[in-house]
Amino acid sequence: MKVLLSKPGLDGHDVGVKVLAHGLKDAGYEVVYTGLRKTITEIIDQAIACKADIIGMSILSGTHLVIAQKMKEEMSARKLNMPWFVGGNIPSKDVNELKKIGASEAFATGTKVSEVVNYFSSMKATVKTNAA
C-alpha cells in the first residue's frame, strides 16, 4: 500500500510527519512525502501522479477543520474515492468532526506512531491498491 503524506497550508514544521513516514516505511509501507506548504490541489495531484492508495495530512496550525473541508470538496469535485486521514495537532474534541467531514480517520495529538501503523494494518484489507 502506498501512502502519500502531506503538509497542507502554511505550517512549516514537519518533524512529526517525517517520524511517521519512517514508522510506516519500517512497517513495510511505501511512503511519498509532498514536502511543506502544499495546497489541497497540489496534494491530490501528487497522490494521483504517484498512484497513492491513501492520503495523510499533517496539520499543526489549528486549521484542520477548514483544510479537511477543502479536501472533501476537492475530492468530491474530482469524483475521487481515495481514503484520507488527518493527524498532527488535532484536539480530541475535533476527531469526530473530521470523520463527519470525510476523513477515514483522524489522529489526535499524542497518538503514537504504532497506533497509526496498526490502523494502516487494519486498512490493508479494505483499501484497493493502485499497484500495477
What is the reported pLDDT for 14? 87
- What pLDDT shows up at residue 131? 56
The strands making up 54-59's β-sheet, listed across from edge to edge, are 30-33, 2-6, 54-59, 84-88, 105-106
Q: What is the pLDDT of residue 24?
A: 95
Are 122 and 49 in contact by the 8 Å Cβ rule? The answer is no
According to the model, what pLDDT value does residue 129 have? Answer: 67
d(CA 99, CA 14) in angstroms, rounded, equals 23
Q: What is the pLDDT of residue 127?
A: 67
- Stretches in the chain below the pLDDT threshold 50: 132
- The pLDDT value recorded for residue 104 is 95
**pLDDT at 2 (0 to 100):** 94
Looking at the DSSP assignment, which residues form a beta bridge with residue 84?
A: 55
Residue 125 has what pLDDT?
A: 65
pLDDT value for 97: 98
pLDDT for position 12 = 82
Q: Is 45 helix (H, G, I), strand (E, B) or coil?
A: helix
